[in-house]
Amino acid sequence: MIQALSGQLLLGLINGSFYALLSLGLAIIFGLLNVVNFAHGALYMMGAFAAWMGLEFLGIGYWWALLLAPLAVGLVGVLVERLLLRRLYGLDHLYGLLLTFGLTLIAEGLFHHFYGNSGQSYPVPGALQGGFRLPFMYLPIYRAWVVGVSLLVCLASWFVIEKTKLGAYLRAGTENPRLLQAFGVNVPVLRTVTYGFGVALAAFAGVMAAPIYQVQPLMGSSLVIVVFAVVVIGGMGSIAGSIVTGIGLGLVEGLTKFVYPEASAVIVFMVMALVLLVRPAGLFGRER
Amino acid sequence: MNHPTRLLAAAALFALAAPASAADKVSDGVVKIGVLTDMTGYYSDLAGPGSVLAAKMAAEDFGGKVLGKPIEIVSADHQNKADIASNTARKWFDEEKVDVVADLVSSSTAGAVMPVAMEKKRITLLSGPATTAFTGEKCTPYNVHYTYNNWMLANGTGREVVRQGGDSWFFITADYVFGKSLEEDTSNVVKAAGGKVLGSARHPSPGTTDFSSYLLQAQASGAKIIGMANAGADTVNTIKQAKEFGITPNQSLAGLLVFISDIHSLGLETAKGMYLTTSFYWDLDDATRKWSKRFLEKHGKMPTMVHAGVYSAVTHYLAAVKAVGTDDADAVIAKMKATPVKDFFAKNGQIGPDGLHRHDAYLVRVKTPAESKYPWDYYAIVKTIPAAEAFPSVEAQKCPLVKK
Amino acid sequence: MSRGRSPAAWGYAALLALGLAAPFLVYPVFAMNVLCLALFASAFNLLLGYTGLLSFGHAAFLGSAAYVTGHAAKVWGLPTEVAVLLGTAAATALGALFGGLAIRRSGIYFAMITLGFAQMIYFLVVQLPWTGGEDGLQGIPRGKALALLPLDGPLTMYYFVLAAFLGGFWLVHRAIHSPFGHVLHAIRENEARALSLGYDVARYKLLAFVISAGLAGLAGSLKAVVLQFASLSDVHWHRSGEVVLMTLLGGMGTVLGPSVGALVVVTLENYLAGAGSWVTVITGAVFVVSVLAFRRGVVGEAGAFLRKSFGGVKP
């Protein structure tokens, strides 16, 4: 029993770190730009597809894809911000959400048109194949890699935002953009960079996911509302909050899959409703 | 007017009247076939645009006309939503003079359309849906369940795998009606063949991409066979992750509902060794190869059994219309049930009084990359299951319409 | 509230005439579907456009009412009106429960709580045996109106639905153009100020939520009887997203907007049914364009245009 449980908890941890990575981008975009980026799931999907297309058409392997795919998709994000999102700052959250929802539909529809739905296969890179024979389960090396990298990227992002000067500018830009601009900081560029970074994080998660989940147009659509729930539970202004919550929820979901699997898709929402009723701005957030 | 002229006039009138009465026999002057399928969602690759193409090929090959009237193929996307399917079918029957609906793909959409078709007296040709009860307790007088059903899958894969030594099973099941009934059917077959069912895990669908937790439970159970009572992206992800977690050398996967499109997207390296049952394989013989290559040219991918089933069903329908001289549903369906099906799709096909098309099925094993010599060379035929064994008997189905 | 024969009254009269003639102009089931969704969107707009609360889980009310009505009509054999009332009552009760909890929060948190509740309803519907899972609840009988007129014919069913729609729409109209509606408007503009003026803001919000939920339930109940079918897509979060699109497209702060939006969306879906993946792309493009250039929606833009051209006051 302990054996079975340990295995499930470890899997929960792996999934949790993945959720943390995904929700990080979303939390950054909401925390610093006040945009509810519903396109996060589609951007994740585009990252995975970028990795696949890089391999299929240009022979670019996994390791380069980890760098290039987020750059490519990040560029798309930058374009979206400059041409479309920029016009909505100052308006209600609702519009940003609706716009990004519309963009999601466009992206999913286009990819579906060209690539159908069964999905494409992306191989696990050679160096990461195989696994560790733990006493309670077989742990694929790739999964261990996912945990490691996710946590590293999360910590690095948190550090940059909370502890560096660049991060200070970003946070100041949320509080009082005009004052920051008066100090000579180019706030619009800062905003664009932030959105691009959040998008790149989503795409990065997509590349990480490509070897383990089939690369298909709808791969982000069921994930996106879960990731939203994670960010909301953690507190929409808090970077650390979404990281911790992501991992925590991965564990909760893992336990649910073991005890009552039918509920594993809805448990996140139950937790979210409970948390929001007790702590209004999420576990770590500040109400705006 | 004198007599000869009157006679001539009468003869002319008579000549004009004759084709008019033949035209009355084909409602609205056209035989319209509606392909209602999933064009954009989870089942679009195994059915979808390929099914529409198959129907069009059937119409073309038939000559484009039947009884002197044109054959028209229309199509619509039901997005796997039962209410869209029901509304579209209703509109087709009421407003657009559609005579027959084909494909439908999923059991929920078929279940929604069949009562509407029965009310309006139109034929439904099911190619994708799996629910066995469609020709059992839910049977309708105008329904033909053409390509496969859950019973065929459960018995084909379940019984044969147990016979080959896989006598302990653990199920990973999609938590909805289709998955649960497939799990139930297969469990019954496994137990009847002397095997044991050690447990099952039901996952939400859609909404699950990570199956590692369920695979771990399957591994812990020690079962020899992991039965996947799910379909589409769920199955593909389960198989992929089973390989990743090293499950496959010690335990075997049994794909209860797998299509060649799934194998194509997975790749042989991941899918090799898996057992599955199918109604059709493109590389079976010369006839199947000939048709499939034509399909490949137009579609870019080899046909799944659903595609081949649509072609065959539509052809069989048109032949029946021609034979009885009308497209009236009662006459045509009677003729379809009376005529055996002998084409590249079904060697010994017979549509029973309950509407179930009983034909040969094939237990296959997915080849290893080394065994595969050319593109799409994916299956090795393990056994041909004759029609009488592949499908439940009329008595077993207990369709209320069939008189004892 | 109209001063003599205002342009608005003429406008409504014209629309009423159109509504009465509709089943002769278009496919009746299509028209009925539009009416049900128009009622749904109008109910939703009471909350969004007039109270400023964005709910992401309104499908829960539409769908649960549909299932309750369907079960009542099919399994319990209750007369159609009773079944519809039962469904509406269920949605209203659910609205009171969810609303009571959700309105404690605001903005995006409110939206996410409603989404969470809706997901729980979805889960419940999948698990309960009598809902039929993904097959849905089929074969719901249409029954008879007032135990006299059989509703199987499209015309009688249509006028039944039209009557119910007009009732619901009138309720929305009254709610908006009443002191209650003015307080809602004040809450939307500046909640803190409304609170400081002594209004029990929470109670007003809750009441708006409950009315909105109940009318959404009415729409769902009617839909179940018209289509003789209740399915999972009625409780799926895509349906909640769809109603937001209808309201946005039609015009959020207007009375007629949501109905127009419903008409546009249903027509688009019908017209594009054969277009495959392009439907998704086009729907997305419509969203994007509406948000960027067209925020007042069809009715909003039309109203602004008329105001500019004729200088009159529009309600």
ipTM: 0.84
**Contacts A98 to C, Cβ<8 Å:** 244-245, 248, 287, 290-291
The percentage of chain A sitting over the pLDDT mark of 90, rounded to a whole number, equals: 36
- Cβ proximity of A47 and A21 under 8 Å: no
- Tell whether the model's pLDDT for residue B17 goes beyond 50: no
Q: Which of A99, A276, A288 sits opposite C112 (nearest CB)?
A: A276
**Contacts A112 to B, Cβ<8 Å:** 40, 44
Helix, strand, coil percentages, rounded to 5, for chain A: 75, 5, 20
Pairing of strands C229-230, C137-138: antiparallel
Neighbors of chain C with 3 or more C-beta pairs under 8 Å:
A, B
Domain A2-278 CATH class label: mainly alpha
- Which of B171, B183, B210 would you mutate first to test chain A, the one with the most A CBs within 10 A? B210
C141 C-beta neighbours (distance < 10 Å), count: 15
Tell whether B175 lies on the interface with A, counting CB pairs under 8 A: yes
pLDDT at position A286, please?
62
pLDDT at position B404, please?
60
Which residue segment(s) compose the domain that C293 sits in?
A: 7-310
Give me the amino acid identity at B326: T
B151-278+362-389, superfamily in CATH? Response regulator (3.40.50.2300)
Q: Which of A113-122, B104-113, C10-19 has the highest mean pLDDT?
A: B104-113
| C233, closest residue in chain B (CA to CA) | B81
| C135, closest residue in chain B (CA to CA) | B108
* CATH of region B25-148+284-359: 3.40.50.2300
Q: What is the CATH number of the domain that holds C19?
A: 1.10.3470
Q: What is the mean pLDDT of residues B286-301?
A: 94
pLDDT at position C274, please?
65
**Contacts C268 to B, Cβ<8 Å:** none
Q: Is the Cα torsion angle A122, A123, A128, A134 positive or negative in sign?
A: positive
Q: What is the mean pLDDT of residues B318-322?
A: 92
Neighbors of chain A with 3 or more C-beta pairs under 8 Å:
B, C
The answer to whether the CB atoms of B115 and C139 lie below 8 A apart is yes
| Phi, psi for C138 (deg, rounded to 5) | -105, 165
> What is the C-alpha R_g of chain C?
19
CA distance A252 to A268: 8
Query: Residue B75: beta bridge partners?
Result: B35
The answer to whether the CB atoms of B76 and C273 lie below 8 A apart is yes
pLDDT at position C315, please?
53
Q: Which of B77, B86, B178 sits opposite C274 (nearest CB)?
A: B77
The answer to whether the CB atoms of A113 and C277 lie below 8 A apart is yes
Alpha helices by DSSP H, listed for chain C, are 7-25, 28-48, 59-74, 80-102, 107-127, 154-176, 179-189, 191-196, 201-227, 237-250, 257-271, 278-293, 297-310
- The pLDDT-based confidence of B397 (bands split at 50, 70, 90) is confident
Three-state SS string across A162-194, please?
Answer: HHCHHHHHHHHHHHCHHHHHHCCCCHHHHHHHH
The answer to whether the CB atoms of B265 and A119 lie below 8 A apart is yes
Per residue in A103-152, pLDDT tens?
999 999 899 888 877 788 888 888 888 888 888 888 899 999 999 999 99
**Contacts A261 to B, Cβ<8 Å:** 175, 201-204, 213-214
Average pLDDT score, chain A: 87
- Tell whether the model's pLDDT for residue C206 goes beyond 50: yes
CB neighbour burial string for C192-205, b if at least 16 within 10 angstroms, e if fewer: eebeeeeeebeebb
Average pLDDT score, chain C: 87
CA distance C113 to A232: 10
The answer to whether the CB atoms of B40 and C277 lie below 8 A apart is yes
The more confidently predicted of residues A288 and C78 is C78
CA distance A195 to A34: 11
Query: Is C2 contained in some domain?
Result: no
CA distance C105 to chain A (A): 6
Query: Is C15 contained in some domain?
Result: yes
Query: Is C89 contained in some domain?
Result: yes
The answer to whether the CB atoms of B244 and A109 lie below 8 A apart is no
- Tell whether the model's pLDDT for residue C313 goes beyond 70: no
Tell whether B212 lies on the interface with A, counting CB pairs under 8 A: yes
Query: DSSP character for C4?
Result: S
CA distance B36 to chain C (A): 10
**Contacts C132 to B, Cβ<8 Å:** 177
CA distances (Å), C218 to each of A200, A212, C224, C257, in order?
A: 45, 45, 10, 19
Q: Do domains B25-148+284-359 and B151-278+362-389 have the same CATH topology?
A: yes
Per residue in C41-100, pLDDT tens?
999 999 998 888 999 899 999 999 999 999 999 999 899 999 999 999 999 999 999 999
Query: Is C1 contained in some domain?
Result: no
Burial class (CB in 10 A: 0-12, 13-18, 19+), C60: buried
Alpha helices by DSSP H, listed for B121-257, are 150-153, 160-163, 177-192, 212-221, 233-244
pLDDT at position C286, please?
87
Query: DSSP character for C78?
Result: -
Per residue in C269-286, pLDDT tens?
777 766 667 888 888 898
| A285, closest residue in chain C (CA to CA) | C109
Per residue in B321-337, pLDDT tens?
999 988 889 999 999 99
Give me the amino acid identity at C17: A
CA distance C40 to C44: 6
**What is the SS3 assignment for B345?**
coil
CA distance A242 to A222: 19
**Contacts B90 to C, Cβ<8 Å:** 29
**Residue A277, token pair as written in the block:** 């009723």
The answer to whether the CB atoms of B213 and A212 lie below 8 A apart is no
Tell whether B199 lies on the interface with A, counting CB pairs under 8 A: no
Per residue in B206-263, pLDDT tens?
778 889 999 999 988 999 999 999 988 889 889 989 988 888 778 888 999 999 999 9
Which chain A residues have any C-beta within 8 angstroms of a chain B C-beta? 3-4, 7-8, 11-12, 14-15, 109, 112, 116-121, 124, 131, 137-138, 140, 142-143, 212-214, 216, 218-219, 222-223, 254, 257-258, 261-266
